[in-house]
Amino acid sequence: MEKYILSLDQGTTSSRAILFNHEGEPVHSAQKEIKQYFPKPGWVEHNANEIWGSVLSVIASVLSEANVTPIQIAGIGITNQRETTVLWDKETGDPIYHAIVWQSRQTNDICKELKKNGMEEKVRQKTGLLIDPYFSGTKVKWILDHVEGAREKVKKGEVLFGTIDTWLIWKLSGGKAHVTDYTNAARTLMFNIFDLKWDEELLDLFGANHSMMPEVKSSSEIYAETAPYHFFGQSVPIAGAAGDQQAALFGQACFTEGMAKNTYGTGCFMLMNTGEKAVHSDNGLLTTIAWGIDGKITYALEGSIFVAGSALGWLRDGLRMLKHAEDSEDYATKVQSTEGVYMVPAFVGLGTPYWDSEVRGAIFGLTRGTEKEHFIRATLESLAYQTKDVLQAMIEDSGIDITSLRTDGGAAKNNFLMQFQADLLDTVVERAKINETTALGAAYLAGLAVGFWENKKQLTKKWDLDKEFEPEMDEKERDKLYQGWQTAINATMAFK
Ligand code: G3P
Per-residue pLDDT tens over the stretch 120-170 = 999 999 999 999 999 999 999 999 999 999 999 999 999 999 999 999 999
Please name the residue whose Cα sits nearest to atom 6 of ligand 1.
Answer: 81
**Ligand 1 center–CA 184 separation, angstroms:** 12
**Ligand 1 center–CA 100 separation, angstroms:** 13
Q: Would the CATH topology of 4-245 be identical to that of 253-432+464-495? A: yes
For residue range 410-463, list pLDDT tens digits in order: 999 999 999 999 999 999 999 999 989 999 999 999 999 999 999 999 999 999
Q: Which fold has domain 253-432+464-495?
A: Nucleotidyltransferase; domain 5 (3.30.420)
Question: Which pTM value belongs to this model?
Answer: 0.94
Give yes or no for a cis peptide into 70 (omega within 30° of 0).
Answer: no
40, 109 in Cβ contact below 8 A? no
Residues 6+ apart with CB under 8 A from 386: 268, 305, 308
Q: Among 54, 79, 80, 244, name the best residue to mutate to test ligand 1's pocket (greatest count of ligand atoms within 8 A of Cβ).
A: 244
Q: How far apart are CA 379 and CA 465, in angstroms?
A: 26
Complex-level ipTM: 0.96
The CATH number fitting domain 4-245, selected from 3.90.110.10, 3.30.420.40, 3.40.50.2000, 3.40.50.300: 3.30.420.40
Q: Among 9, 10, 12, 183, name the best residue to mutate to test ligand 1's pocket (greatest count of ligand atoms within 8 A of Cβ).
A: 12
What are the structural domain ranges in the chain? 4-245, 253-432+464-495
Q: Which amino acid is at 485?
A: W
Residue 42 near ligand 1, beta carbon < 6 Å:
no
Please name the residue whose Cα sits nearest to atom 8 of ligand 1.
Answer: 12
Q: Confidence class of residue 398 from pLDDT cuts 50, 70 and 90?
A: confident
Q: Taking CA 455 as the corner, what is the angle to CA 449 and CA 456, rounded to the nearest 5 degrees?
A: 110
Q: How far apart are CA 454 and CA 344, in angstroms?
A: 45
